[in-house]
């Protein structure tokens, strides 16, 4: 473990004694509860995550996966395995740089963050206090502004080209999947056009350090995504866990497959027929984990209408989430817009 490449707090906590002292204190969340509901132990022995084949897309199978899980594994998606492999390799190289180098390389409009995945619209981390530290660092990259990413490092120059190519593939996938969901839900075609905007596409590249006592800390704690869709690539090292019917399920990493999960916007758009899946990232005792996630949102001023929620735009939702995190330390999400 190259300690100089990690944020200072992670470097300090990488020592087993420091981890034990920090993680046995009140600085971590209880791992078996959420919203005051007792959660059963993680299901590890099976892999029930639904699989959707994009080349023979079934609307019924897609609808069931979105309704029952809010998540599915996507295969035959058309993203070249070589591109996925190169992205992973470049990410590892960039993360091996010193903490100070990463801060210097990823500046506006991109950003480098650590300790929290909650960011402002400009990409700055939202402070949630020391008790809410997540063991994660990341690069936040708006795809529409990739051309402004200054290649101050040779690896960064080629990484930008790879991200441009990847962004095009993921925009294609998001559009195809969303249109299929809209068809299954029988959404109004004109209204749904603004519910997914390619220009909002955003890529985050995450790294989670190894942790000698992983059962008492989280890479990212329990949350839902605010997006319409999130599309994840991970390979080799797992850690993603999803909640279904009060049970946590491990999502096993399968190289060259993608994981698609629905966010809060899709739940609202679907009038709660589809669900925004609660998920978290568990740390690995021996290995660090790198994952690459694409998020896409509605047009910022597009009004989302549902019989279950008061009308709101994504701008409204994002502003409320920012206020929630500053006030409560966590996101209330769609509950703030619910009609009772």
Which residues carry out catalysis?
289
Could you give the residue ranges of the DSSP H alpha helices within the chain?
8-13, 16-23, 59-68, 81-95, 99-105, 154-185, 189-193, 264-269, 314-328
| Distance in angstroms (rounded) separating the CA atoms of residues 193 and 172 | 14
CB-side exposure of 80: number of CA atoms within 13 Å? 10
Let me know if 203 is exposed, middle or buried by CB neighbors in 10 A (0-12, 13-18, 19+).
buried
301 in Cβ contact with 212 (< 8 Å): no
Please choose, from the candidates 288, 290, 314, the residue with its C-alpha nearest in 3D space to the C-alpha of residue 301: 314
Tokens of 120: 């402002």
| Distance in angstroms (rounded) separating the CA atoms of residues 16 and 216 | 13
The Cβ of residue 106 has, within 10 Å, a number of other Cβ atoms equal to: 23
CA–chain centroid gap for 149, Å, is 22
Q: Which residue has the tokens 């519910």?
A: 195
């Amino acid at each position: 473990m190259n300690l100089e490449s990690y944020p200072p707090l992670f470097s300090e906590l990488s020592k087993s004694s420091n981890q034990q002292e920090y993680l046995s204190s009140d600085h971590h969340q209880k791992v078996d509860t959420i919203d005051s509901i007792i959660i059963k132990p993680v299901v590890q022995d099976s892999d029930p995550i639904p699989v959707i084949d994009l080349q023979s897309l079934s609307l019924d199978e897609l609808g069931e996966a979105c309704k029952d899980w809010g998540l599915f594994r996507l295969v035959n998606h058309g993203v070249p395995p070589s591109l996925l492999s190169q992205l992973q390799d470049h990410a590892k190289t960039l993360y091996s740089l010193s903490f100070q180098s990463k801060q210097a390389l990823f500046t506006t409009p991109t950003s480098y963050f650590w300790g929290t995945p909650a960011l402002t619209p400009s990409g700055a981390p939202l402070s949630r206090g020391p008790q809410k530290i997540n063991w994660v660092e990341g690069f936040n990259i708006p795809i529409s502004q990739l051309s402004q990413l200054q290649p101050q490092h040779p690896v960064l120059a080629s990484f930008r080209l790879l991200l441009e190519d990847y962004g095009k593939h993921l925009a294609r996938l998001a559009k195809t999947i969303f249109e299929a969901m809209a068809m299954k839900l029988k959404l109004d075609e004109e209204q749904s056009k603004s519910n997914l905007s390619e220009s909002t596409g955003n890529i985050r590249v995450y790294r989670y350090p190894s942790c000698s006592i992983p059962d008492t800390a989280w890479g990212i704690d329990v949350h839902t995504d605010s997006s319409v869709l999130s599309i994840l690539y991970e390979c080799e090292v797992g850690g993603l866990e999803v909640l279904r019917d009060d049970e946590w399920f491990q999502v096993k990493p399968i190289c060259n497959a993608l994981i698609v999960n629905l966010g809060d916007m899709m739940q609202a758009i679907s009038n709660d027929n589809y669900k925004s899946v609660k998920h978290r990232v568990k740390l690995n005792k021996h290995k660090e984990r790198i994952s690459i996630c694409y998020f896409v949102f509605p047009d910022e001023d597009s009004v989302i209408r549902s019989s279950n929620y008061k009308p709101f735009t994504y701008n409204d939702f994002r502003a409320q989430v920012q206020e929630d995190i500053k006030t409560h330390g966590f996101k209330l999400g769609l509950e703030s817009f619910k009609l009772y």
